[in-house]
Amino acid sequence: MRARSAGPTTISLTPPRAIVAPATVIVSSSIAPASLAPVRPDAARAPSIVTVPAPVKR
């Protein structure tokens, strides 16, 4: 019975973690550039968002 419960549990836990991980990285990355370059927040957010997905996909 443990094997059966372990199977579905692992599958159901995988999607949430995959969605939460990138979401947390994007939020933290968007806050960092905002404080580093308050003059141009839009310009700082664009490169930060593009740089984050690249390593995440790999």
As given in the structure block, the two tokens for residue 54 are 């690249």
What local confidence, expressed as pLDDT, does residue 1 receive?
A: 45
What is the per-residue pLDDT for 2?
46
**For the whole model, what pTM was predicted?**
0.18
CA distance 48 to 40: 13
pLDDT of residue 57: 53
Q: What pLDDT is recorded for position 5?
A: 47
At 45 the pLDDT is: 52
In the predicted model, residues of the chain with pLDDT beneath 50 are: 1-7, 11, 37-38, 41, 44, 48-52
